[in-house]
Amino acid sequence: MLNRQAKNRNTNHQPALYLFEARQKVRRAVKPERKDMKLRSLAQVGIITITLASVITVSFAVDEDCPTSSEGSKHGNFGTRLWERGELVDAERETREAIRVDKDCSMWHQNLAVILAAAGRADEARDSWLKSLQINKLWCTGRRIESLYGLGNYYYKRRDFKKSVEFFEKTMAEPQFTEASDAAKKAIYLEASYNYTEPRENGNPFYNLARAEELKKKALRLNPEDQFVKASITKLLVLQGKLDQAKNNLSELIAEQSKSQKPNPGVYSYLGHIYSLLNDPKNSALFMSKAMDTDPSQGKYLLSEIDKDFKQVAKSKEMQPVIRRARKSYGQ
């Protein structure tokens, strides 16, 4: 795997240093003559970027299952440095050279997957993640969990729910999962939950709001202050008819937003959506207005969801001024 280094970069799927979804790093190997010089895979410092672009660092203990070729390590580690600089073409070339020397090194195949994903070559990245798991040796500073996660995410984006569920379940069952940081586990729980909220009419046989709720609650327990996750759970409660629990959550969310010096506009949008599901146009309009007060771009979300998330209240007298405000902001 490519080593992951905690750098704030916007490039999607960065080599081994950022292995998970969008910000992943390439790892380097341990040179045999220097036991203290670890080959760092892009996944060594596991970084996961989820939908909200929050970056999380995952720390794992490093084992000694590393390639012994100094030539392969030279190419692989240089590929990591090139990836860090955003030089993806050269990073790929050097990593492929490392693979040519150490073809049975899972870490280099995983690093290549991260580089290819960063270059927008998702199908090739998938093949390299699969290859790393097929070989399943010489992980060095890489970890199986990184390839499993990458594949779960890959298949979800392609709406292959069966395979996505399979790889996310394997990710969470992997012994290394217990070694991951709380932030990493939280991100995995959340991304795994998406497979259970896509409607059946979208071809998803795994639609299961109770399972999604279970996973999101596990994520929330790891960070109880995350109001956005709590809001997403509240929506699931409403959809399942668990209205007493939902109303308790709504009261807590509103109170937290009110006392916060920096209220989360995404939570306000969630509240607007939830009150739409409850067919409460007054509160739906109130919280969408607050969302746009905090972040005007939330109006774009409202306009895109008039016939979906807000269809219950879109034609109400309370929501019409909010919709007009959003349209005016975007010149519609």
pLDDT of 32 strictly over 70:
no
Give the tens place of pLDDT for each residue, 86-116. 999 999 999 999 999 999 999 999 999 999 9
Query: Can you give the residue ranges of every domain in the chain?
Result: 16-190, 236-329
pLDDT of 141 reads 87
Sign of CA pseudo-dihedral 177, 180, 182, 186: negative
Residue with tokens 């409460």: 280
How high is the pLDDT of residue 28? 64
pLDDT bracket for residue 29 (50, 70, 90): low
Q: What is the mean pLDDT of the chain?
A: 84
Mean pLDDT of the region 184-200 = 95
Q: How much is the pLDDT for 65?
A: 84
Per the model's pLDDT, the better-predicted residue between 322 and 24 turns out to be 322
Least confident range from 53-62, 155-164, 219-228: namely: 53-62
% of the chain at pLDDT higher than 90: 74
What burial letters (b/e) apply to 286-300, b meaning 16+ CB within 10 Å? bbbbbbbebbeebbe
SS3 11: coil
pLDDT range class, residue 8, cuts 50, 70, 90: very low
CA distances (Å), 40 to each of 18, 77, 101, 144, in order? 11, 7, 17, 15
| Paired tokens of 332 | 């519609």
Q: Which CATH number does 16-190 carry?
A: 1.25.40.10
**21 has pLDDT over 90:** no
Beta bridge partners of 47: 57
- Say whether pLDDT at 23 is over 80: no
Looking at residue 12, its amino acid is: N
Would the pLDDT of 139 be above 60? yes
Output the CA–CA distances (angstroms, integers) from residue 323 to 263, 273, 305, in the order listed.
22, 14, 11
For 55-69, 122-136, 167-181, 252-266, which range has the lowest pLDDT when averaged over its residues?
55-69
Higher pLDDT, 24 or 269: 269
Contact between 152 and 171 (Cβ < 8 Å): yes
Q: What is the mean pLDDT of residues 19-42?
A: 42
Query: Residues 26, 3: contact at Cβ < 8 Å?
Result: yes
DSSP character for 195? G
**Integer CA distances (angstroms), 129 to 154, 163, 192, in order:** 10, 14, 18
41 forms beta bridges with: 27
> How far apart are alpha carbons 181 and 142 in whole angstroms?
16
pLDDT tier at 64, thresholds 50, 70, 90: low
Residue 28 is which amino acid? R
Dump pLDDT digits (tens) for 163-185: 999 999 999 999 989 989 999 99
Q: Which DSSP state fits 175?
A: G
Between 40 and 331, residue with greater pLDDT: 331
What average pLDDT score do residues 41-47 get? 42
Q: How sure is the predictor about 22, in pLDDT bands with cuts at 50, 70 and 90? A: very low
Q: Is the pLDDT of residue 6 over 90?
A: no
Lowest mean pLDDT among 150-159, 178-187, 271-280: 178-187
189, 206 Cβ separation under 8 angstroms: no
